[in-house]
Amino acid sequence: MKVALLQQDIVWANPAANISLADTAIQKAGPCDLYVLPEMWSTGFATQPEGIAENDNSNSLRWMQDKANEMNAAIAGSIAVQDSHDLTYRNRFYFVRPGEQPVFYDKHHLFTYGGEHHRYTAGQERVVVEWRGVRFLLQVCYDLRFPIWARNCEDYDAAIYVASWPTPRVEAWRTLLKARAIENQCYILGVNRVGNDPACQYCGGTAFIDPYGQATECPDNEATHITAEIDMDRLHNFRLKFPVLKDRDR
């Protein structure tokens, strides 16, 4: 499976501009099976969602659906939304496959240090989605610091972390992505943004990491992309040869 990790600069609170940027980035990446955008890719990371969050049938989500159909590929990334049923705000990670209803995961570990928990409601369900023979665990930013939530119970092959992870803590981001790949014997797709918002500066660190912990990374401070291959035969053979997950704590 060919994947594209899209390290984007995000225009603050401007979904139309960010849709255009994402569209251009996908075209530059070329044909792939999966394209991954950062956390809150359509607005930037907004801890005060009033006037910024979109509804759960937004133009951004409709673009993801249309683009998935056009490219015959899956599109993934989180959006700040206000749920139409209970009016709660959610940091909602959508995984959109062509011709299907979106699957979504609501961020479980809200970033209390930045006040995200004051206005957003945490999700309580762990979500794994299958696409073209690969099982993906969906995770968002701060979830990366909590390994029990991401424990591989032999139910996924790759984990996707979409993030707005600031520059001062980027070495933690890089280290923990590798740790999650090694301890869960899986591929990791970590997509972080670049640029600035009203609160923080971001340098990227977007990376594709194989089950051995070997990383392919985007250059820092550039709106760019990397493409990489998820090799399921290689993963399967590694797990058979060195069955770490069989000895996990239960």
The pLDDT tens digits of the residues spanning 39-92 come to 999 999 999 999 999 998 999 999 999 999 999 999 999 999 999 999 999 999
Work out the angle between the directed axes of helices 59-71 and 15-29 (0-180°, nearest 10). 20
Kindly name the residue from 32, 54, 67, 141 that is annotated as catalytic: 141
Band the pLDDT of 7: cuts 50, 70, 90: very high
Q: Which of 88, 93, 101, 100 is nearest to 126 (CA)?
A: 93
Q: How far apart are CA 59 and CA 63, in angstroms?
A: 6
Q: Tens of pLDDT along 101-131? A: 999 999 999 999 999 999 999 999 999 999 9
Q: How far apart are CA 136 and CA 155, in angstroms?
A: 9
Does the predicted TM-score (pTM) go above 0.85? yes
Q: Which helix (H) or strand (E) holds 71?
A: helix 59-71
107 assigned to active site? yes
Average pLDDT over every residue of 6-34: 98
Q: Tens of pLDDT along 172-201? A: 999 999 999 999 999 999 999 999 999 999
Among residues of the chain, what percentage have pLDDT more than 90? 98
141 assigned to active site? yes
Q: Map residue 247 onto helix, strand or coil.
A: helix
Band the pLDDT of 250: cuts 50, 70, 90: confident
39 assigned to active site? yes
Average pLDDT, the chain: 97
- Phi, psi values for residue 115, rounded to 5°: 85, 10
Average pLDDT over every residue of 217-228: 98
Kindly name the residue from 32, 54, 67, 107 that is annotated as catalytic: 107
Residue 138: which CATH number?
3.60.110.10
Domain count, the chain: 1
Q: Map residue 164 onto helix, strand or coil.
A: coil
Kindly name the residue from 39, 116, 203, 218 that is annotated as catalytic: 39
Q: Map residue 107 onto helix, strand or coil.
A: coil
Q: How far apart are CA 43 and CA 83, in angstroms?
A: 16
Range(s) of the domain holding residue 72: 2-247
Please state the separation of Cα 121 from the chain's center in Å.
Answer: 18
